[in-house]
Structure 1
């Protein structure tokens, strides 16, 4: 027996209970005719007996043919992820519940599992699982109410990384002022790479750029980005690393909210500049990186200095150096002249003092000299052999000797 589930005629047009079999068949054909006019699938031909499989197959055909894909709102209960990757849960309402399944390919896009009792809405098709005769919703998309699953996954990962200290400002490293080589992790075909190259070529054309290519969105993108970051670190060629991409939806940017990418950034041996999306976009990569730039172009500006500004600064430094050199030379000349004058004065003073000391010593020596004694009228007897005769015993009678006077000498003879 077939019922028109969407008929506007109401319950009064349904075959009343207790009618005989012929009247039931007539009513069923009438309802089937109205369904055919409305575009619904035609009823199966009458048969004497239906199997359970036939009933389930017919019910599934009717349900899938009648009910379009729809958004269903409710609370999540008993969310389970099987080893196969398929997810099973129940949506509950105030007075009803609906069993749901999300196949592996769709479940991969979930940022995290919804919490028990979380308000969500699910997009899917209502069907019947024929093997068990269970009514269920095959979910293609699952969204959280309010801030949603994306925010929940973001907060869970951020709390875990905060607990490990990976987002602490204390571990942030400064970006080198004059990098010789800049590494870039992004898509080789994206606008972000073009922007980074253009800015670096304009500001610091002497800087080398090394690309470690990776897909930046879609399934598997997070793993590629993490591997690309580690390749740059292992190569040891870059002084600073830019990791990023252009703007997009939350789902497009989700690779940069992945734990593998966050840990690869934290383990990078060189400072990392995160440049994901636009200024309003914020990712886990921004929290772990040493510096967050609002756009890839801004990241390139932060990575390299402005060549024109460097030239102006060099010219200013050259002028200051020349001025300082001149001032230092003038000071040195002045100090040398002052030192020369001081040395001359000190030499003159010292020489006069030494002369006075020498004169005093000469006076003392002269006072002690035998010549000074002779000058006072004394004479010194000296033998012909030149020996000074000091006592009477030194004089032999009749022996000649000389008397040494202050000026000259005379001959004498002892009597």
Structure 2
């Protein structure tokens, strides 16, 4: 019985699927010698990696190879990082290269790329987690060597820009195996110092091996977890380390880091004057707009009608007040007339009035009232 017959494309797709499901083949590094190198006009690179026993076709697309730090050529020993896939048209498997470095230093660079990719996947480099620097820090922490050029540059710039700014220096090694643990401890210690609002971590230039402690995963995670904003200032402007990617801000040099951390007094004074002028202008505009709004509202019909109604009621109230005043005045006048009349009546009946007309009351010696002339004799 004949086996089942497949199309070429079916077999190729099956092999492609098998390779793409193999975890080992999806992330691996391969060391070999470049041969048959071709940099196509499209920007893609095509070449073969070989050793004494075999060859492996490779392709490195334009988006990946534009970040290469060297120029590939035939005969160069390299380490290539990538994944194995199938080029369906030719039915061949090949290495799709994502990163590549010359052998020797290549292992460090590949480790750097691998850590960079993992931390980026975790979100440690995300722009949204970057914190802004304070406008005017109370104190500036510095993690660097106490004897290097970096600390001298930082001190010079800070004192020039803000004479009385406090610098808290945590001295550490900046190269070698003990450097990264010391920098982690110094970073945590400075973050606990009251008033430290920003931290500079860095060193002067050096070789890739000398800068390697700044690619330490533990240091990167310590910076990400630091409660205080961190500025990196590692090496020269062209040097990039993991610390640069995870810090809140990267400065090309230690001097530039100091300028970013500390404002110049004169610049700060000018900025405050500008802000004050803007505030006054803004408040003035708000008040002017408020006045215009009130004037417009006052001219609207409901307000004018209300004002007319108020005036009518006020006139009516004034009339009531005048009527009341006249009524009270007339009432008091009538009462005065009645009182005068009654007072006259009382006066006419008063004994005093009789006496005033010539009459008198005679009292005898025994106190009796004399009522007739006969009682006097």
User: Among 254, 262, 266, which residue is 1:296 paired with?
Assistant: 254
What CA deviation, in whole Å up to 9, does each residue of 1:102-131 have, x standing for no partner? xxxxxxxxxxxxxxxxx648xxxxxxxxxx
Deviation, structure 1 residue 95: 3.2
Quote the residue 1:206 is aligned against.
164
Quote the residue 1:362 is aligned against.
325
Query: Where do 1:75-86 residues align within 5 Å?
Result: none
Aligned mates of 1:352, 1:150 — CA distance in 2: 97
Deviation, structure 1 residue 311: 3.5
Matched, 1:267 2:225: yes
Query: Where do 1:244-263 residues align within 5 Å?
Result: 244-263=202-221
Distance 1:228 1:94, change over 3 A: same
Count of aligned pairs between the two proteins: 233
Deviation, structure 1 residue 185: 0.6
Deviation, structure 1 residue 244: 0.6
Paired residues of 2:138 and 2:195 also in contact (CA < 8 A): no
Quote the residue 1:173 is aligned against.
131
Paired residues of 1:180 and 1:239 also in contact (CA < 8 A): yes
Query: Where do 1:142-221 residues align within 5 Å?
Result: 144-145=102-103, 148-221=106-179
Aligned mates of 1:287, 1:254 — CA distance in 2: 14
181-190 or 147-156, which moves further after superposition? 147-156
Query: Where do 1:65-76 residues align within 5 Å?
Result: 74=32
User: Among 34, 46, 51, which residue is 1:93 paired with?
Assistant: 51
Deviation, structure 1 residue 148: 2.5
Unaligned runs of 5+ in 1: 1-72, 76-91, 97-118, 122-142, 332-349, 387-398, 402-415
Paired residues of 1:187 and 1:193 also in contact (CA < 8 A): yes
242-251 or 351-360, which moves further after superposition? 351-360
Deviation, structure 1 residue 230: 1.7
Aligned mates of 1:217, 1:400 — CA distance in 2: 133
What CA deviation, in whole Å up to 9, does each residue of 1:252-279 have, x standing for no partner? 2111111011011112121100111122
Deviation, structure 1 residue 372: 9.5
Aligned mates of 1:227, 1:266 — CA distance in 2: 14
Paired residues of 2:142 and 2:168 also in contact (CA < 8 A): yes
Paired residues of 1:185 and 1:229 also in contact (CA < 8 A): yes
Quote the residue 2:26 is aligned against.
none
Question: Is the helix fraction higher in 1 or 2?
Answer: 2
Deviation, structure 1 residue 186: 0.8
Unaligned runs of 5+ in 2: 1-30, 34-49, 55-76, 80-100, 289-312, 351-377
Aligned mates of 2:198, 2:236 — CA distance in 1: 21
Aligned mates of 1:364, 1:212 — CA distance in 2: 96
Instruction: Give the RMSD, CA atoms, in angstroms.
Output: 4.2
SS of the equivalent of 2:140 reads: strand
What CA deviation, in whole Å up to 9, does each residue of 1:25-54 have, x standing for no partner? xxxxxxxxxxxxxxxxxxxxxxxxxxxxxx
What CA deviation, in whole Å up to 9, does each residue of 1:220-263 have, x standing for no partner? 22222222212212334521100011122222211111101101
More relative contact order in 1 or in 2 (CA 8 Å, sep 6+)?
Answer: 2
What CA deviation, in whole Å up to 9, does each residue of 1:273-297 have, x standing for no partner? 0111122111111111111111111
Q: Which runs of 4+ in 1 moved over 6 A?
A: 350-355, 372-375, 379-383
Matched, 1:232 2:195: no
Quote the residue 1:125 is aligned against.
none
Aligned mates of 1:231, 1:366 — CA distance in 2: 92
Deviation, structure 1 residue 364: 3.2
SS of the equivalent of 1:274 reads: strand
Larger Rg: 1
Paired residues of 1:274 and 1:293 also in contact (CA < 8 A): yes
353-362 or 163-172, which moves further after superposition? 353-362
What CA deviation, in whole Å up to 9, does each residue of 1:61-100 have, x standing for no partner? xxxxxxxxxxxx848xxxxxxxxxxxxxxxx82339xxxx
Aligned mates of 2:146, 2:119 — CA distance in 1: 29
Paired residues of 1:366 and 1:372 also in contact (CA < 8 A): no
Aligned mates of 1:196, 1:156 — CA distance in 2: 32
